[in-house]
Amino acid sequence: MAALVNKIVLLSFMLVPIFVMMDGVESFKFIPRAVIGIENQLPNLKLTIHCKDKYRDNGFHTLAPGENYRFGFITAPFFIKRTQWFCLFSWHGESRNFDIYVEERDDCSYCQWLIRKSGPCKYYATHLDCYQWKTTGQHERQGRKMLLISNTSIQQEPPLSLQPLNSQGRD
């Protein structure tokens, strides 16, 4: 009987990480999740989005006017409130960045954002909360470890010229 109990306990410890890694599974409601919706409200301009957090990078996505982009993620447990995602928004030669999800500020399971030239607006059923664009490097959670935005540039750097390890600079 004790062996059966030990197997059940061991199995439950093995399944918990699997459930946590299953980010897209909707049936596990006890895992805190958030979904971010971003709508391009720039008139006649395509919007390029690059969103990431400290660990993950969603890559680049381009939206036509009126188009939406959605992504989801697992948030920190309810008592920590430290999940943060930021995005670089680019259109017609301009670039702006904004912390699209700061758990201390947003704390929603579905957040819909409308992207405008003046700034991003968070959509609610009864009103909009509009924000100013952030300056480069400025993040909502000042005083804590800043997120790196060094690789959010749209332009790619040229590759480094490499030499063999045994090279002394002569042929």
Per-residue pLDDT averaged across 21-50, rounded? 80
DSSP at 169: S
Identify the pLDDT of residue 40.
97
> Residues, the chain, total?
171
Residue 132 has pLDDT above 50, yes or no: yes
Q: What is the pTM of this model?
A: 0.64
Residue 127 has pLDDT above 80, yes or no: yes
- E strand residue ranges, the chain: 33-40, 47-52, 57-63, 68-74, 84-91, 94-102, 110-116, 119-123, 128-130
Q: Find out whether 149 and 137 touch, Cβ atoms under 8 Å.
A: yes
Identify the pLDDT of residue 112.
97
Q: Which residue has the tokens 């989801």?
A: 72
Per-residue pLDDT averaged across 10-15, rounded? 61
Query: What are the structural domains of the chain?
Result: 30-149 (2.60.40)
Identify the pLDDT of residue 155.
46
Q: Which residue has the tokens 């939406």?
A: 68
Q: How confident is the model at residue 11 (pLDDT cuts 50, 70, 90)?
A: low
Residue 134 has pLDDT above 70, yes or no: yes
Residue 66 has pLDDT above 50, yes or no: yes
Task: For residue 71, give Cα distances in angstroms to 86, 99, 116, 160, 166.
Answer: 12, 14, 19, 33, 47
Q: Which residue has the tokens 């720039």?
A: 42
Which segment of 51-55, 124-128, 149-153 scores lowest on mean pLDDT?
A: 149-153
Residue 149 has pLDDT above 50, yes or no: no
**pLDDT digits over 45-59, tens only?**
999 999 999 889 999
Identify the pLDDT of residue 103.
85
* Cα–Cα dist 70/101, whole Å: 13
Residue 34 has pLDDT above 80, yes or no: yes
Sign of the torsion angle spanned by Cα atoms 105, 124, 121, 39: positive
